[in-house]
Structure 1
Amino acid sequence: MRYKFGQCELTPAARELVVAGGLRPVEPQVFDLLHHLVKEHDRVVSTDELINVIWNGRIVSESAINSRISAARSAIGDDGQRQEWIKTVRGRGFRFIGAVTAVTPAAGEAPESSTAGRQRIGFCRSADETRIAYATMGSGYPMVKAGHWLTHLEHDMRNPIWRPFLDELSRRFHLVRYDQRGNGLSDWDVTDFTLDRFVDDLEAVVDSAGIDRFALYGMSQGVPIAIAYIRRHPERVSHLILQGGYEKGRLVRSAAEREQAEAIITLIRHGWGKRDSAFIDAFTTMYIPGGDREQIDSVADLQRHSTSAANAAALRAAVDHFDVSALTDKVRVPTLVMHSRDDGVQPLDQARQIASRIPAAEFVLLESRNHVILPQEPAWRVMFSEIERFVLGT
C-alpha cells in the first residue's frame, strides 16, 4: 500500500516519502506520525492515540508532540499557519485533510522495492574549488559518512567488502557518502591534504545534499574529520558514530609508530594495486585478516580504482599527521565509539582515549581482528544493531 496526496507519495513498506519526484529524508518517528495521520485521514486522531501509536504510551510533553507535528508538516510543504494538509483540531487532536489516494498493488505485481542498494551520484565544489563526488542512497533518518582513504563511489557498489556494508546502512538510513579529494570520482589532481581541507569537503557535501541535521559516521581517518567538523557545526549533528579511528595519527604518536607509518608509505609507493605483491599481503593482513578469498582478492582492484600510488602515499602521510586531541573533549554531541579488539590498523587505546574524553560517550568493543568489519563475523550484527539502537532508539 502507498498513499498519494498533492505532489507527495508515501510508501510505508519502503519507509519512503517522495515530494515532487525527489526522495525526502524524514526522521523515523516523524515518518511514523505522518503515516498514521495519512492512513487515518478520514477522522480526527487524538493526542492520546498518537502517544500510544508513536511513543508506545510513554509520557511525552506537549512540546515534543508539537515538534513532531511541525516536522511532519515541513516534510510535505505545510506549516502551522496554512495547515493545508495537517489540521489542528483544538481540544481533540489532529486530522490529515485533503484528497488522499491509497494505491494497492495489483494481483501478481511485485511489491515496490526500497531505494536501498541504488544510489544517485552528484558533484559539488569544496571551498578551494576541488570537485567532490558524493552519493545518496536509501531512506529513513539522514546519515552522512565522513570520507576516508580508499573509496570509489561507483566501484564500491561491486566490491565484496564495501557493498554489503552500504546495503546494510541504506536499509536503515538515508545515506550520504563521498569520495574524499584525491580519491575515487573526486578530483585527483590536488596537493592540499590538510585536515581543514578535508573538513571543507565534508561541509560542501552536506550543504549540497541539502541536509539540515543528521547522524555523522566517521570511520578510520573519518573519525578526526568528523570531530573537526563538529567543532565548526555542532548544531547540525544529532548523533556522532566513531569507529576504528584515532585522535592522533601514527606520525604524531610515538617513535615506533612513526617508523611503522613511514614503512607503510614506502610500501604503498612500490606495491599499490599490484596483485600478489608483498604490499597487498601486508595490507590485507592489517586491514582484513579475517577476510575470505574473494574479499582479499578484491583489494588490489579497489586500490587501482580508488587512486594512484602517488596520491595514496600523499593521503596516507597527510592523515597520519592528523591531531584532534585539542578538540575531542569539546564535543557535546551524543557519541557512540566502536572499535575492534584486535584492530591491526589503529590501536584500541586510541578509541578508549576518545571515548573517555567525550562527555557521556558510549563505548562498544567489537570482537574482531578486522579494521573493516565483515559480514561473515559475529561483530557485523553487533555493529549494526548498536548503530540502529543509538540513532533510531530501536
Structure 2
Amino acid sequence: MGRIWLLALGMFAIGTDLFIVSGLLPSVAGTLGLSTAAAGQTVTVFALTYAVAAPVLAGVTARVDRRTLLVTVLAVFAAGNGLSAVAPSYGVLLLSRVVAGAGAALYASTASAVAAGITAPERRGRALAVVYAGMTTAIALGVPLGSAIGEVASWRWAFGFVALLALATLAGLWPSLPSVPGRSAAGITRRLAAVRIRRAPAALLTTMLWVVGTFTVYTYLGAVLDRAGRVGAAQRPWLLLLFGVGSFFGVLAGGRLADRIGAVAGLAGSVGLLAVVLAALAPALRSAAGTAVALAAWGLVHWCAFPLIQHRLLALGGDDGDMLLALNNSAVYLGQTVAGAVGGLLAGAGRLGSLPWAGAASEVLALLVLAAGAVSRPLSARGRAVPGSGRRTRPGAAG
C-alpha cells in the first residue's frame, strides 16, 4: 500500500492547492494591488481549467505510460505553483493558476485509475479511498497549515509549500511505481464518446447533483454561521477541522463499503444520509455543540460517497474508466459552479436559512437519478461496445 499512500500525498498537495487560495485572497490582493474580487478570479481560473482540461487531457494522453504521465503532470503542477509563488503581476498569477489547474486535473483522474489498476479487485474500493483520503486530509490539515505559512511569512511561501509537496510525491513515485501502459490507442473523439456508455450520463449527473447539494451550503457557510450567531470567529477553524476529520473517515468508510456491499447500495445510503444531515443542519446551528456535531457528520457522509462514485465509474467504463473519472472531475466542478449560482441567488434574496433545505433537495434529486440509472435496462452478458470502438465495457458490474 506504500505506493497508494504516495498517490494520496499527491492528492494532498492538490487538495491543499484547491482550498488554500480563498484564505490567502486578501494578502494576494494587497501585494498585487487588486480588489478582492479580482484576486478571487484566480480561484475561478483554476476551477475552470480543471473542469475543461480533465477530459481533454485524459483523451490526448491516453497512450502515455501512466507512471511517466503521473510524474510529468506532478512536475507541471509543481511548476505552476512555483510560478504562482514568484508571480510579479496579476497576469502571470492567472497564467500560473491555469498551469497548476491543468496538472491537477490530469493527476487526479490518472492517480485514481492507477491505484485501481495496481490493486487486487477485492481491495480496489479501499485503494481509491486512500488516494482521496489525501484530498480530505488537505481540508483538515493542509489548508490550515498553508494558511499559517501565509500568515507567518507570505502567500508566496504557501504556494511554494504546495510545489514542494508535489515534488516530494514525484520523487517517491518515480522509483517505486511500476510501468503501467496506457489503456487505449483510440483518438480523443472516440475517447470522449465514453460519456455515451450506458448508465454513464446518469452516473455523472448524480455526481453533479451530489456536489450541488453540499456546495450550495458550504460555499456560503461563513454567512450561514453568522446568521445563526452561535459560533464566534475564533471557533470556526476548529469547526472546519471537524468537517475535515469527518471527511477523512468518511472517504475511508466509503472505500470499505464499495468492497463489501457494492458501489450502488453504498452510494444510495450515503447520499440519502447526506440529505438528512443537510436538512437537519438548520436546527443544529442553533447551538455551538450542535454545529460541531453537524459539521463532522456532514463531512463524514459527504465524502463517504466519493470512492463509491469512482468505483462505480470504473466498473461502468471498462477500458474507458479513466476517461469517465476525468469526466467525473468535470461534473464536480460544474456542480460547484451551479452551487455557487444557486446559493448566490438565495443569499441575495435574503434566504440564507433556505440554503440547507436547497442542498437537501439536490441530494434527493441525486438519489432519484441514481435509482433511475440503476434500474435502467442492464447490459447483456457480453457487454456493450463504446460507440466507435471495437472494445466492450465490462458487463454491468457497477449496477
Shorter chain as denominator, the TM-score bin is under 0.3
Whose relative contact order is higher, 1 or 2, with alpha carbons under 8 Å and at least 6 apart? 2
- TM-score, normalised relative to structure 1: 0.23
Greater Rg over alpha carbons, structure: 1
The structure with the greater share of residues assigned to strand is: 1
The structure with the greater share of residues assigned to helix is: 2
